[in-house]
Structure 1
Amino acid sequence: VEEVAWALKDFSHCLYLGRGINMPTAYEGALKLKEISYIHAEGYPAGEMKHGPIALIDENMPIVVIAPRDPWYEKMFSQIEQAKARGGIVVAVATEGDDVIPTIADHVLWVPPTPWMLSPVTTVIPLQILAYHIAALRGLDVDQPRNLAKSVTVE
């Protein structure tokens, strides 16, 4: 994870893509990156990438793709390939033992094999650790992020 953090620490923007039950994982990964590293990040449904985010992808926009072995696994290949075709740096969260993702992504964050319905439990962890390391490399206080409240009050 630290190696990937070094590769991403100087970017100003980052796009997170997920599908199915890992769509919320993409949202959480982007939120965590924003909260503690102050990098603009957005989570987006991978199937909707062509409706906006694709226009932003270039060598200055890294893409984090949540791609464990699940029912949507093979559909993520086209998103990775489209991002690579536009110069994007692709970080994939993939299942250990995957032999395809490492051939098309620039970096891989590995998670253990898990029943697909439980995959969000494992795929979110490397994203949280990645955000932590990026913030630390940027010299930020990860224990007290600015303007962040520990609780939310609804009125």
Structure 2
Amino acid sequence: MAATPVEAPAPTGPLAAFVRFVVCGGGVGLLSSGAMLLASGHAPIALANAVVTVLSTLLATELHGRFTFRAGHARLADHLKSGLTATICYLFTTAALLVLHAVHPNPGPLLEQGVYLSASGLAGVGRFVVLRVVVFATGARAATAGTRPVGRKPLLTRRAVTVAA
């Protein structure tokens, strides 16, 4: 009799979720970069960037909902909240570059990229926390929907208790 393989459950802790967040976000970032190259020859760069940013945020939100946080299909509210976090990250990185140029009027490209990547990293960690705790918090989603997340055991269960007299 041959043993049937048992699929091990995927890791669900914060570190595993962060790795999935980086992989999904990085993959969408690379895809966006390619899309920008294709679109920039056919539309003004600002319009191409806006369209690619919106579409990549929608795609990343869906991926984060399904794979990163295992919360299922992203709802409209999830997309709106995620879009807000992306906007805040954009403002944060822009502010970091503006401050750099205010304190160092002619930074070299290495310093500028260092500041941008550092700000992007900090913004990304902040975005991960907000998406995990607020947007895709499985307990909050389950309470809102009146159900529990798929594959998760309920925290409290009702059990019949027999009392012997």
**TM-score relative to the length of structure 1:** 0.29
The structure with the largest alpha-carbon Rg is 2
> TM-score, normalized by length of structure 2?
0.27
The structure in which a higher percent of residues are helix is 2
Higher strand proportion: 1
Q: Give the number of the structure with larger relative contact order, counting CA–CA contacts within 8 Å between residues 6 or more apart.
A: 1
